[in-house]
Amino acid sequence: MGDTEPLAITALKGVGPQLGAKLGRLGINTVVDLLFHLPLRYQDRTTLAPIGSLRPGSEALIHGRIEISGARFGRRRSLVTVISDDTGRLTMRQFHFSGAQQRGLRRGGCIQCYGEARAGPSGLEMVHPEYRLLDSLDHSITEATLTPVYPGTEGISQPKWRDLAGQALARCGQDIPELVSEFPETVSVHLSLGEALALLHHPPPGSDLVALRAGTHPAQHRLAFEELLAHHLALRGRRTQRDALSATPIPPSARLWPTLRGQLGFDLTGAQQRAIGEILADIAKAHPALRLVQGDVGSGKTIVAAAAVVAAVEAGQQAVVMAPTELLAEQHLAVFRSWLSRLSLEPVWLSGRLSKRERRQVCTSLANGQARVAIGTHALFQDDVSYDQLGLVVVDEQHRFGVAQRLALRDKGRIDDHAPHQLIMSATPIPRSLTMVMYADMDISVIDEMPPGRQPVETVALSNSRRLEVQDRIREACARGHRAYWVCPLVEDSEVLAVQAATSRAETLRAELPGLVIALLHGRTPSAEKEATMNDFRCGRTDVLVATTVIEVGVDVPEASVMVIENAERLGLSQLHQLRGRVGRGDRQSTCVLMYQPPLGVLARERLAALRQTTDGFAIAQKDLELRGPGELLGTRQSGVPQFRVADLARDRALLPAVQTTATRLLRDNPGQVPGLIARWLGHGLDFSDA
């Protein structure tokens, strides 16, 4: 193909305007695009398996004779067909079937099935397998290659995907240009790009199915490197674009920050001082800063942000601090109000629950420049909000916002090629392997020191059957003037069920701990009630706060020394670590109790063991990445996780140093190859990074 115009997807047989539009919505506009729409997994239909060799959970192609077939009427009506060969028998069960299907499955007929064997009431079953009727067992059909299974979207059937991929390989599979001419020694490359794609769409018999399923086959390894390289180059391109913009320099504060620092009543750690120095050096430049500040729970990121905020104010600029939830935003408001009042500054508050009149007043003060600091939720970037001189945007827990929300707030201060500085904070430590790929367009500061006097949190795991012991521990702690959290996490991804679980637990604890004041907090609690509930807990009028994971971030009560997390096996390591960080924030010895419902699965056991072994957030984040992947660690696609087709950041992290060096060499020696490489893997945009 070389420099010729890429072949449109409609050039393939059977792709008309309607199917072409469906494929276009998936980013598949050319025949080459289709070749990079890779299978998720593979089925082995190259050989027939004896029925007697099947084990529950295995997928196989079998054939045999029909012993009996007929409708059964239990809890659900089903068509049950018993199939046998010389080695054993198996039941095919169908819950959805037609009269024609029922008539075709006659006793004595020959049949071939592909599906997953499961344990059933009378032996092994296949539920709704793919099947075909045969004239005789000699006419069974096996496939010449492993059968690919493509991401099932847009109502396109698997046979259609396979047909289209076959056509695409035939039309241009050998003509795809190599855009990476030199691979580092650490990347084992034995296949051309065309050969790797052909193998992944049509793996020949004898291919290492275990390696293909694990994503470690040489063909996948070769493509994963190129994909990671494309993402990294795209981010570096974003950085270049941002460096071309202008920003108003914000010099270090000569008056406000020294005054505030002298009145804090505590010393900054070395890590905090280092981060402040890095931030102030960034925002003093004439192009927009974009810095990520990572720090473990309780490491003191907020005062670091405050140093930048007061510098912006002293320079005549406005600063905004945005948080993903009202609870966290309110926490920031209270802290900033306390600090800024010492400088005769009053931050304004903007959230969705302000009255129209209050909102109008705040918007007016931001537009005319009277308000210098604004704190709030996503309400800060809505259409009716404008700023006089927005110079600094601080976003807390950035991965909880959609990318469009972050960009909208930044664009509030963008005029032509002029943009505000951005400071992004995260209490979810991100492993270095992720930052290298996902945040190559950002500068990164790490606060890796905890304030002095913090006691390590003791972490124990107990079965749900020992709940009464846990309640005794809470009773003893409260008798000493301590306070406790009891968290009921999201169950089955339903906020309604989570609220029910928390409500039920609060009622139980009130009955079984009659001497204690028990309060309830969840995502559906009205804002005013939420604020009053938290204030009562902070002030000691409440002993135990029962909550959903709404308290994961933003709640700072030094007197809380016990954290109980029910069904801890359902949560990821990083979220458990965040919740644990709500205690141990003072000088009291604190405990986190992870309650679980036995029996524990292997992954759940590993997660709970890792949490007991360390309180280092970065070590925990690395383990979480290995166990669950980047999507679970950082949130959903909307929250900014790159969606890789082949690469896996946990599995392929050993490739990342080579990705960086290759990117540098490519930009230096063959910059003309870079746009094609990015377009091949990412299309026309990066939806997970700020520009």
**Higher per-residue pLDDT: 638 or 567:** 567
User: Same CATH topology for 51-139 and 256-447?
Assistant: no
Mean of pLDDT over the chain = 86
pLDDT digits (tens, 9 = 90+) for 579-607: 898 888 777 889 999 999 888 888 888 88
Tell the CATH topology of 51-139: OB fold (Dihydrolipoamide Acetyltransferase, E2P) (2.40.50)
Least confident window among 225-239, 369-383, 429-443: 429-443
- Determine which helix (DSSP H) or strand (DSSP E) holds 629, and give its type and residue range: none
Query: Would you say residue 516 has pLDDT above 80?
Result: yes
pLDDT digits (tens, 9 = 90+) for 524-548: 778 778 878 888 998 999 999 999 8
Query: Would you say residue 313 has pLDDT above 90?
Result: yes
**Higher per-residue pLDDT: 366 or 412:** 366
Share of the chain above pLDDT 90, in %: 50
**In contact, 656 and 222? CB cutoff 8 Å:** no
Least confident window among 87-96, 324-333, 592-601: 324-333
The candidate with the shortest Cα–Cα distance to 591, out of 438, 456, 454, 413, is 456
- Domain residue limits, the chain: 9-43+147-207, 51-139, 256-447, 458-614
Q: State the average pLDDT over residues 260-279.
A: 94
The candidate with the shortest Cα–Cα distance to 193, out of 163, 167, 218, 228, is 218
Query: Would you say residue 498 has pLDDT above 70?
Result: no
Q: State the average pLDDT over residues 656-684.
A: 88
Whole-number pLDDT of residue 689: 41
Angle at 152 between CA 151 and CA 154, to 5 degrees: 120
CATH class of the region 256-447: alpha beta
C-alpha dihedral, 345 to 293 to 572 to 473, nearest 10°: -50
Query: Would you say residue 193 has pLDDT above 50?
Result: yes
CA-based end-to-end distance of the chain: 33
Whole-number pLDDT of residue 666: 93
Q: State the average pLDDT over residues 643-668.
A: 86
Tell the CATH topology of 458-614: Rossmann fold (3.40.50)
Query: Would you say residue 436 has pLDDT above 50?
Result: yes
Whole-number pLDDT of residue 618: 79
**In contact, 5 and 29? CB cutoff 8 Å:** no
Query: Would you say residue 471 has pLDDT above 80?
Result: yes
Cα–Cα distance between 364 and 356 in angstroms, integer? 12
Whole-number pLDDT of residue 591: 94
Cα–Cα distance between 376 and 332 in angstroms, integer? 8
DSSP secondary structure letter of residue 502: H
Instruction: Return all residues near 114 (Cβ < 8 A) that are at least 6 apart.
Output: 43, 45, 59, 60, 61, 62, 129, 130, 131
- Determine which helix (DSSP H) or strand (DSSP E) holds 206, and give its type and residue range: none
- Count of other CB atoms within 10 angstroms of residue 558: 14
User: What are the counts of helices (DSSP H) followed by strands (DSSP E) for the chain?
Assistant: 23, 21
Whole-number pLDDT of residue 639: 40
Pair of tokens at residue 50: 């004896």
Q: How confident is the model at residue 671 (pLDDT cuts 50, 70, 90)?
A: very high
Pair of tokens at residue 69: 């077939």
Q: Encode burial over 657-673: b for 16+ CB neighbours within 10 A, e otherwise.
A: ebbbebbeebeeeeeeb
DSSP secondary structure letter of residue 52: G
Q: Where are the beta strands (DSSP E) in 29-150?
A: 41-43, 59-73, 77-85, 88-94, 110-120, 123-127, 130-134, 147-149
Whole-number pLDDT of residue 552: 57
Q: State the average pLDDT over residues 403-430.
A: 74
**In contact, 300 and 269? CB cutoff 8 Å:** yes
Cα–Cα distance between 376 and 371 in angstroms, integer? 13
Helix ranges (H only) for 371-427 are 403-412
**Chain-centre distance for alpha carbon 186:** 28
Strand-pairing partners, residue 219, are none
- Count of other CB atoms within 10 angstroms of residue 365: 16
Query: Would you say residue 632 has pLDDT above 50?
Result: no
Q: How confident is the model at residue 480 (pLDDT cuts 50, 70, 90)?
A: very high
Query: Would you say residue 573 has pLDDT above 90?
Result: no
Cα–Cα distance between 546 and 549 in angstroms, integer? 10
Whole-number pLDDT of residue 507: 92
Least confident window among 173-182, 258-267, 371-380, 469-478: 173-182
Burial class (CB in 10 A: 0-12, 13-18, 19+), 184: middle
DSSP string computed for 383-450: TT---SSEEEEEEESGGGS-HHHHHHHHHHT-BTTB--EEEEEESS---HHHHHHHTTTSEEEEE--P
Query: Would you say residue 631 has pLDDT above 70?
Result: no
Cα–Cα distance between 237 and 113 in angstroms, integer? 51
The candidate with the shortest Cα–Cα distance to 225, out of 275, 195, 185, is 185
The candidate with the shortest Cα–Cα distance to 396, out of 490, 315, 326, 310, is 326
Cα–Cα distance between 619 and 621 in angstroms, integer? 5
Q: How confident is the model at residue 684 (pLDDT cuts 50, 70, 90)?
A: low
Mode of pairing for the β-strands spanning 560-565 and 483-487: parallel
pLDDT digits (tens, 9 = 90+) for 226-253: 999 998 998 888 888 888 899 999 999 9
pLDDT digits (tens, 9 = 90+) for 106-159: 999 999 999 999 998 889 999 999 999 999 999 999 988 889 999 866 678 888
